[in-house]
């Protein structure tokens, strides 16, 4: 089945205006990123191969602050029912940990938090949360969740998506080499140029 990527991009811009306001716009310089995400969401195998995207892995969307990562991951899931996922702020996960403790790690690691079709989660803004203490024990919550979801990816092909401002070296610094190593297996890296402009108004 052949897809008209230009028409889909126009539809996404229209949908974006509905969701985020009339100022929303898809920029020409982001065309390659949009194409990769469309191919992924539509499971367009031929185009995915051309764009070096694995349909088995999740998405790691990285780029500078304000380039539109969160909006894009919130928007792109509306293309199809096949790849639905829940977008969850990493800061909110850390606040849940303060309240509920280690149960939160299990909550996001078992693949049963939401309806089955929403077991895939997009953790938004990785790196904005902090190491937290629960009854005196410090825990890198997102590192533990990523490691647990890696096990689910290996055993059940459960996908995880992430947005982040961090570079690969910063991810290793924050979460350790073990996490960074597993993230290579877990994710397709789709990155904005570091010179990408802040699109917030």
Q: How far is CA 187 from the centre of its chain?
A: 9
Instruction: Please report where in the chains the tokens 């990493």 appear, as a residue.
Output: 90
Examine residue 134 and state whether it is found in any structural domain, yes or no.
Answer: yes
pLDDT tens sequence across 116-145: 544 889 999 998 876 555 445 567 889 999
Q: What angle do CA 147, 54, 41 make, to 5 degrees?
A: 100
Say how many domains are in the chain: 1
pLDDT tens sequence across 90-113: 999 988 888 888 888 888 886 555
> Quick check: 184 pLDDT over 80?
yes
> Quick check: 57 pLDDT over 50?
yes
The CATH code of the domain that includes 136 is 3.40.50.300
The pLDDT assigned to 32 comes to 93
Examine residue 64 and state whether it is found in any structural domain, yes or no.
Answer: yes
Kindly state the percentage of the chain with pLDDT values over 90: 57
Q: Which of 1-5, 21-25, 188-192 has the lowest mean pLDDT?
A: 1-5
**CB under 8 Å to 149, separation ≥6 — which residues?**
108, 109, 121, 158, 160, 186
Domain with 160 in it: 57-191
> Quick check: 80 pLDDT over 70?
yes
């Amino acid at each position: 089945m052949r897809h008209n990527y230009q028409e889909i991009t126009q539809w996404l811009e229209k949908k974006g205006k509905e969701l985020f306001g009339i100022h929303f716009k898809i920029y020409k310089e982001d065309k390659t990123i949009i194409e990769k995400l469309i191919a992924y969401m539509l499971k367009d195998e031929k185009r995915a191969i051309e764009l070096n995207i694995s349909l088995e892995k999740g998405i790691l969307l990285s780029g500078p602050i304000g380039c539109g990562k969160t909006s894009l991951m919130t928007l792109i899931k509306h293309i199809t029912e096949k790849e639905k996922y829940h977008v969850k702020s990493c800061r909110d996960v850390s606040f849940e940990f303060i309240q509920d403790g280690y149960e939160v790690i299990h909550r996001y690691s078992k693949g049963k938090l939401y309806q089955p079709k929403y077991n895939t989660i997009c953790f938004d803004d990785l790196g904005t949360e902090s190491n937290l203490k629960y009854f005196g024990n410090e825990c890198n919550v997102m590192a533990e969740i990523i490691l647990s979801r890696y096990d689910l990816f290996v055993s059940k092909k459960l996908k995880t998506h992430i947005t982040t401002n961090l570079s690969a070296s910063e991810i290793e610094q924050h979460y350790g080499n073990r996490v960074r190593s597993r993230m290579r297996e877990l994710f397709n890296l789709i990155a904005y140029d570091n010179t990408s402009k802040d699109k917030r108004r």
